[in-house]
Amino acid sequence: MKTVIISDPKDLNIAADIIRKGGLVAAPTETVYGLCANALNASAVSDIFAAKGRPSDNPLIVHISDRTMLYDLVDSVSSKAVKLMDAFWPGPLTLIFKSNATVPQIVTAGLSTVGIRFPDHPIMQKLITLSGLPLAAPSANTSGKPSPTNAKRVIEDLDGKIEAIIDGGSSAFGVESTVLDMTSEVPTILRPGGITLEMLQEVLEDVIVDPAISNTLSQQTLPKAPGMKYTHYAPNAEVFIVRGTLEKVAHKINTLIKDDHKSGKTVGVLATDETKHLFNHADLILSVGSSENMHMIAAQLFEDLRTFDDHHMDIVYSLSFPKIGIGEAIMNRLEKSAAYHIIEV
Ligand code: TXA
Ligand code: MG
């Protein structure tokens, strides 16, 4: 299949046509790029799973561009949900509701619930409005890889497999939406993301975090968001997070680099603007941004993980970041990309 690259917003009607005919279009959102299809067309949705190589038990989020679209897809909307929508929609917050019969089973992977998101990106909003349909959209990467935050990375994974890719520049947030389950007694974060726990707590008194998210050492607790149990965000390089005081971390990483070089491995380090000068022996040192600006780090993280692969690193050592605010989402992605290999020093 020849994939059309659309870079002029005037051509969005071409993309909307493809969606209406049951095809697949990758489009930018404020979090990461999404791989979109008509959420009401089971065959189009099944093509999403095929293009990504995604396990069929992992449900998709449905994207809308207007709050009224929500009421066609879900059973009921609580007053708590309305408060959250008032505060954070459009934006990087996915709310899980009981779904109604309109939503095909393949979208929800057979669950009785559905995740709905109203994204805050003019191109994605326009694509939904022009096609006149709710869009099922996972991140536009091959399953298991870091999510794409620009069109080049989407092309890398999906060129020739989907009808079109819309180039809308780099994603502002860089980590995916917060997934919040509104069907449990107390609203529960199933995936940390752009809207932080602290922000949610300013609107609702009671919000909890699914224990599976913070439970990194023993993996016995299965997460409620099926996607969170899979290997995810992983570059080809083997990633290790090294955690401790900066002095010890730098010493440890430099020692490890020497050992890895002896066994003929190429080694990358994911550092910050403030620390990158400490790792001169690495084969590739990338700064993910300044530790003063965690939002910039979120925006750069997936791109840096993919850059290590561009340069064929065998091993990547990464610094650790405080799990505060957006740091929760950053560390959740980083720990998964490292398959929970954390070296404490
Ligand atoms: O920011 C985002 O959310 C991006 C952009 C494209 O909108 N989308 C995204 O989709 O990250 P995806 O498919 O890569 O991740 C969706 C996550 C998965 O972990 C999935 O298991 C979970 O949301 N999820 C979806 N529907 C669910 C449901 N009904 N119950 C529990 N978890 C659900
Ligand atoms: Mg994904």
31 lines ligand 1 (CB under 6 A): yes
Residue 254 phi/psi, 5° resolution?
Answer: -65, -35
115 lines ligand 1 (CB under 6 A): yes
114 lines ligand 1 (CB under 6 A): yes
149 lines ligand 1 (CB under 6 A): no
- DSSP helix/strand/coil, 95: strand
Which ligand has the minimum distance to the alpha carbon of residue 58?
A: 1
Structure tokens at 122: 């003019």
318 lines ligand 1 (CB under 6 A): no
103 lines ligand 1 (CB under 6 A): no
Residue 58 CA, closest ligand 1 atom number:
21
32 lines ligand 1 (CB under 6 A): yes
User: In testing the pocket of ligand 1, which one of 36, 48, 94, 117 has its CB within 8 Å of the most ligand atoms?
Assistant: 94
pLDDT of residue 17: 98
Instruction: Work out the percent of the chain whose per-residue pLDDT is above 90.
Output: 92
pLDDT of residue 233: 86
| Each residue's pLDDT tens digit, 164-212 | 999 999 999 999 999 999 999 999 999 999 999 999 999 999 999 999 8
332 lines ligand 1 (CB under 6 A): no
| Beta-bridge mates of residue 245 | none
- DSSP helix/strand/coil, 254: helix
**Rounded distance between C-alpha atoms, residue 37 and residue 159, angstroms:** 16
Which ligand has the minimum distance to the alpha carbon of residue 332?
A: 1
177 lines ligand 1 (CB under 6 A): yes
- DSSP helix/strand/coil, 62: strand
Which ligand has the minimum distance to the alpha carbon of residue 137?
A: 1
Domains belonging to the chain, first-starting first, are 4-214 (3.90.870.10), 238-344 (3.40.50.11030)
Using the mean position of ligand 2's atoms as its centre, give its distance from the Cα of residue 138 in Å: 6
User: In testing the pocket of ligand 1, which one of 105, 179, 231 has its CB within 8 Å of the most ligand atoms?
Assistant: 179
Cα–Cα–Cα angle for 197, 203, 179, rounded to 5 degrees? 45
| Each residue's pLDDT tens digit, 272-322 | 999 999 999 999 999 999 999 999 999 999 999 999 999 999 999 999 999
Q: Taking the model in full, what pTM does it have?
A: 0.96
CA nearest to 24, candidates 35, 12, 8: 35
CA nearest to 315, candidates 252, 264, 244: 264
Q: Is residue 110 exposed (0-12), middle (13-18) or buried (19+ Cβ within 10 Å)?
A: exposed
pLDDT of residue 216: 57
Specify whether the CB–CB gap between 249 and 317 falls below 8 A: no
The side-by-side arrangement of strands in the sheet containing 238-243 is 284-287, 267-271, 315-319, 238-243, 342-344
Tell me what the mean pLDDT of segment 86-106 comes to.
Answer: 97
Residue 54 CA, closest ligand 1 atom number:
13
Using the mean position of ligand 2's atoms as its centre, give its distance from the Cα of residue 8 in Å: 26
333 lines ligand 1 (CB under 6 A): no
% helix, strand, coil for the chain, step of 5: 35, 20, 45
| Each residue's pLDDT tens digit, 224-283 | 777 766 678 888 999 999 999 999 999 999 999 999 999 999 999 999 999 999 999 999
